[in-house]
Amino acid sequence: MQPIATKHNGQSGIAAHRLSQEQCQNNFTDKHPALGSHSAQVEAERCYYCFDAPCTEACPTGIDVPGFIRMISSHNPTGAANLILSENIMGGTCSRVCPVETLCEQSCVRNTDEDRPVTIGLLQRYATDDAISRGDSFFKRVSESGRTVGVVGAGPAGLACAHRLALLGHEVTVYEAREKPGGLNEYGLAAYKMTADFAQKEIEYITAVGGIKMQYGIKVGQDVTFEELRNNHDALFIGVGLAQANTLEIENGDCTGVENAVEYIEALRQSEDLSSLPIGQRVVVIGGGMTAIDIASQARLLGAEEVTIVYRRGQEQMKASLKEQEFAQTIGVQIRHWAQPKALKCEDNRLTGIVFSTTAEEEGGAGTEFELPADMVFKAIGQSFVSFESDGLIFNTEQGRLAVDDQRQTSIPGVWAGGDCIAGGDDLAVIAVQDGKIAAQSIHQFLTARHN
């Protein structure tokens, strides 16, 4: 995946076609190619099959990790997939994007004697990809309950909630503002993590259970009111994620060449010709999370010569995992810590550089200024929750997100929420899936008690 050198190509500033379409396609192949059957067998046999497995404890969705790995070692990937998908219906996505190095694989007891865990993520992918590609059905709906549930948002939380509710016999309608389902799985992840249109294939598998109706291009507060949804359904689940990018307060902030990282990744994910995307020659990314790593890596893979991530705190405070940071660095991304942006340098309203101010003594004293040349700057400083029209009903919030109880119920009766839009959780797909599962079970109990 090493980018092809682009020096002396005559394209200064922001330009498209720094690389050919073929070069881009080569750069954006799978970051971690799937295991073959023999490799999966060999890797599965490394597992100790612990009774009180710490890897299972570390999995937010409670997957029986040694159980499914034992099945792979016994030449039963179908059984392994059943175990995985019964707990995490988006196990295919999570096998690709979960920070396993800080969750299940970090907890693997193999770390203590070999300094290398069982590659749980790749084994999970081996099993789930096999099942999804064949359309293996492990799920059957119970008899219909006659109850309906509205789900706002077709991201991981909403889809997981919809699937579990459908299995329990309820009719679910998913309202999605975009034209395609998937949320960040479809629009926000680095293209080399989710290749071959896997996000849509997984969603087709999820909705094949029946009882789930998808409605696209529906914005709550614009195309339908919140009160209409409450009147049309027996319960609601909100899984809208974080829709608004945080603003960057900086001198000359309106200079041409400043881009929103999330919006650019969305355009990249939907592009049929990656080489046509304009990218700078010298790119600076502001932020320290997964979005910062993803946009920086992809800028490099699109042909940017110099890409630098600048983060206001240290490496330990970066939300992006060390593994992801190391991946970015191996393809030429520089990471600088303890500095924050102060001003953009512009000529004729075109970006030429960015001035930073150090934030720690380690960098020669807080407040020391330095400048990086840049013709493109990406803002990757987080996103915030945008509350929709609620017809006078006010949700309780914490730190700018929806407040929920341990069953993911909001302050409004009959309304649950999960995923990135709720307070207190990590912004991970696997956490969103668990939120959807927990909320679905709580909604089921609510509907059962209410109508008995």
pLDDT at 4 (0 to 100): 46
Cα–Cα distance, 417 to 161 (Å, whole number): 10
Cα–Cα distance, 376 to 279 (Å, whole number): 7
pLDDT at 22 (0 to 100): 96
Residue type, 283: V
Domains of the chain: 37-134 (1.10.1060.10), 148-243+385-451 (3.50.50.60), 246-382 (3.50.50.60)
pLDDT at 7 (0 to 100): 46
Convert 46-59 to b/e letters by CB count within 10 Å (16 or more is b): bbeeeeebebbebb
Place of tokens 């896997």: 198
pTM of the entire predicted model: 0.93
pLDDT at 364 (0 to 100): 61
Question: For the chain, which residues score pLDDT lower than 50?
Answer: 1-10
Pair of tokens at residue 395 = 């949700």
Secondary structure class of 347 (helix, strand, coil): strand
pLDDT at 245 (0 to 100): 82
- Residue 67 vs residues 44, 62, 128, 147: alpha-carbon distances, Å: 11, 12, 14, 35
Q: What are the φ/ψ torsions at residue 149 (nearest 5 degrees)?
A: -130, 135
pLDDT at 363 (0 to 100): 56
Beta bridge partners of 404: none
